[in-house]
Every structure is written in C-alpha cells, then in structure tokens.
Amino acid sequence: MAVLLGTAATIGLGSAVAQVLVPLAATLAGPADRGRVVGTVMTGLLLGILLARTVAGGLASLADWRFVYVFAAVVTAAMAVVLRRELPDLAPLVDLRYRDLLASTVRLAATQPLLRWRALYGALGFTCYFVGGGIGSAAASALFDVAGWRAVCAFGAALGAAVVLMSAVEGPLGLRPAGAVTSSPELQAP
C-alpha cells in the first residue's frame, strides 16, 4: 500500500507540469513571439498526449506491458533533469495568497469580456478535442478488430499528427487582437 500511495503522490506532483509549462513559456517569450512559442509548446503536449497510446502499444508489442512503464519513467526522469537544468529561476510576478489569486480570476472574468469570449472558444475547442478523441478511440477499436495493432498505431499516429499540426497553426491565431480570428477561422471575437 505504501508503494501505491508513494507512486500516486509522485504521479500527482508530475501531472501539473503541462499546466505550468504553457504559462511559463508564454511568460518567457517576448510579445511578438508569444503565439508561436505557446503553439509550439501546445504542439509538443498534444503530440505526447495523442501519441502516448500509439507508442505504448508499439513498445508493448516489442517487449511487454511492464517495459512501457519503465520507458515512461526513464523519459520522465530525463525530462525533469533537462527542465531543471535549462529553465531559469523566476521570482513570482505577484505576491498573492492562493485564496486571493483565485478571487482575482473571478474579478478578471467579471470585468474582461474578451477573456470570457476566449475562454468560451477554448472550452469549445477542448470539447471538440475530447469528442474527437472518443470517436478516434471507437474507430481504433473497430480497426483493431479488423486489421490488428499495427493499423491502430498508424491510425493513432495520423490522428495525432493532424491535431498537432492544427495546434501549431492555432497558437498564433489565438493571440491576435480583439476582433481578429481567435482560435479558428470560424470564430470571431466580438
């Protein structure tokens, strides 16, 4: 039980990395490069999320399922070392208690209409992403029954590549000024 709790705690601590790296990348980038940088980071995150099952399936077919976890642990540890060594130490930009920080997000949402619109666009985009993921999983399951794991790996790689390419395009679009295209050509900020 102690191993399970320790492992769960470690996974929990590591699971916030994506939520920290995207705003950190935006903070470190200059205003002119911010959209491209955020798009690049999101591309990498989505690539990892979407291709993880494909890579895991391929690795499991070459070795066994335990190797997937060993491989993931080694890659995660290596990334932790690289990030620790390469990222700068930054002082906090504001001095707020956590409760005050949460309250500030409510104030921002209440006073910034553009923020509300772009949050809605982001929520709709992620809804499409998750619905598409469900459809992709159902298609992959059916494909496995017909063509086997190699076809599922190829399907996952193609689907992941399409999503990654779109995130690289949409990153810079999301930072255009009010009234310009936000997160897709169909959505205009009012």
pLDDT, tens digit, for every residue of 40-65? 888 788 778 777 877 888 888 888 88
- Please tell me what DSSP assigns to residue 70: H
What pLDDT, in 10s, does the model give residues 162-189? 766 776 666 566 555 555 544 444 444 4
37-71 per-residue burial string, b: 16 or more CB within 10 A, e: under 16: bbbbbbbbbbbeebbebbbbbbbbeeeeeeebeee
What pLDDT, in 10s, does the model give residues 92-148? 878 888 899 889 989 999 999 888 887 887 788 778 777 777 777 777 778 777 777
Q: What whole-number distance in Å separates Cα of residue 155 and Cα of residue 107?
A: 44
CA separation, residue 80 to residues 85, 86, 158 (Å): 9, 10, 28
Q: What whole-number distance in Å separates Cα of residue 187 and Cα of residue 170?
A: 12
pTM (2 d.p.)? 0.61
Which are the contacts of 49, defined by CB distance < 8 A and separation ≥ 6?
none
Q: Is 38 helix (H, G, I), strand (E, B) or coil?
A: helix
Whether the pLDDT of residue 88 is over 50: the answer is: yes
DSSP 144-161: HHHH-HHHHHHHHHHHHH
